[in-house]
């Protein structure tokens, strides 16, 4: 009996409770039936008109302060994991940019680079003051190194290589939920909790829209921010009793 669209939909519906798995299965079935068409085993793809099951996701986990401390307790100053963590946490760079950063990006107490993600649209230049914590780490790195996170062989570390290494470093610290991208969200959270405006955060992270920044700062400490906002209002308007 040939497999129909109804059969495929029944199979996918059974995985509705695990939408990400259903999405992956649909993708594989789509490719499988396309191969069958190419081999002239059938003339249609029964998966094509079946809408994917929507999977709601909060995105990458944002590192908490406790998780940041655990990572740094596990990976001591002078180690590559420690350097990578501090570099990404205090710049907000994505992996693809972090692996390229080096002394050529440093001048006048600032770190300047162009986000690769925006190069097709002319490039967004990021120029941020170097935080004292980051400066202390950079001061320990050899001046002759072309990039801060280069390999032992002196080559630029790859984006995928850094991602793989970060997963291993996080596992070693018992932080299975944490990723390098989560550090980018962590600096946005920290900036929000420190009272930085959306536009100030965008100047550091390189986001193009306020909605993107809001998506990254959803896990900011609302209680802390509320206290800060109330203090500002009290200072401005005083006690009206």
pLDDT 10s digits, 214-237: 877 877 777 777 887 888 888 878
d(CA 152, CA 53): 45
User: If pLDDT is split at 50, 70 and 90, which confidence band does 166 have?
Assistant: very high
Bridge-based pairing of strands 106-107 and 125-129 is unpaired
Of residues 122 and 179, the one with the higher pLDDT is 179
**Band (1; pLDDT cuts 50, 70, 90):** very low
Could you tell me which residues are beta bridge partners of residue 125? Answer: 114
Q: Which long-range contacts (CB under 8 A, 24 or more apart) does 36-43 make?
A: 42/2
Radius of gyration of the chain (CA): 23
Query: Of the ranges 28-32, 84-88, 120-124, 205-209, which is most confident?
Result: 84-88
- The answer on pLDDT for 190 being more than 80 is yes
Angstrom distance (rounded) from CA 53 to CA 22: 7
Question: Which residues have C-beta within 8 Å of that of residue 133, sequence separation ≥ 6?
Answer: 86, 90
Contact predicate 65/179, CB 8 Å: no
Edge to edge, the sheet with strand 125-129 lists: 106-107, 110-114, 125-129
Contact 137, 82 (CB under 8 A): yes
Q: Which residues of 52-89 are buried (b: 16+ CB within 10 A; e: fewer)?
A: ebeeeeeebbbbbeebbebbbebbeeeebbbbbbbbbb
pLDDT for res 70: 97
What's the distance, CA 73 to chain centroid? Answer: 22
Centroid of chain to Cα 16: 27
Asked if residue 132 has pLDDT above 70, the reply is: yes
CATH superfamily membership of 65-227? Intergrase catalytic core (1.10.443.10)
Return the domain boundaries, the chain.
Answer: 1-57, 65-227
């Amino acid at each position: 009996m040939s497999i129909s669209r109804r059969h495929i939909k029944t199979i996918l519906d059974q995985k509705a409770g695990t939408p990400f798995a259903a999405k992956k299965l649909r993708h594989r079935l789509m490719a499988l039936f396309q191969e069958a068409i190419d081999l002239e085993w059938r003339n249609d793809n029964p998966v094509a008109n079946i809408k994917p099951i929507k999977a709601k996701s909060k995105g990458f986990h944002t590192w908490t302060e406790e998780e940041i401390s655990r990572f740094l307790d596990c990976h001591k100053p002078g180690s590559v994991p420690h350097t990578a963590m501090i570099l990404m946490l205090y710049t907000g760079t994505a992996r693809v940019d972090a692996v390229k950063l080096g002394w050529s990006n440093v001048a006048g107490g600032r770190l300047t680079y162009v986000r690769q993600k925006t190069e097709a649209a002319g490039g967004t230049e990021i120029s941020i003051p170097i935080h004292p914590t980051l400066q202390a780490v950079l001061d320990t790195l050899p001046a002759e190194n072309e990039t801060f996170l280069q390999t032992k062989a002196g080559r630029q570390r790859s984006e995928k290589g850094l991602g793989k290494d970060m997963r291993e470093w996080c596992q070693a610290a018992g932080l299975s939920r944490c990723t390098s991208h989560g550090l980018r969200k962590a600096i946005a959270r920290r900036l929000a909790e420190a009272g930085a405006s959306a536009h100030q955060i965008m100047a550091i992270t390189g986001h193009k829209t306020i909605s993107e920044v809001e998506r990254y700062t959803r896990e900011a400490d609302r209680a802390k921010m509320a206290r800060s906002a109330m203090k500002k209002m009290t200072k401005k308007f005083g006690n009206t009793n």
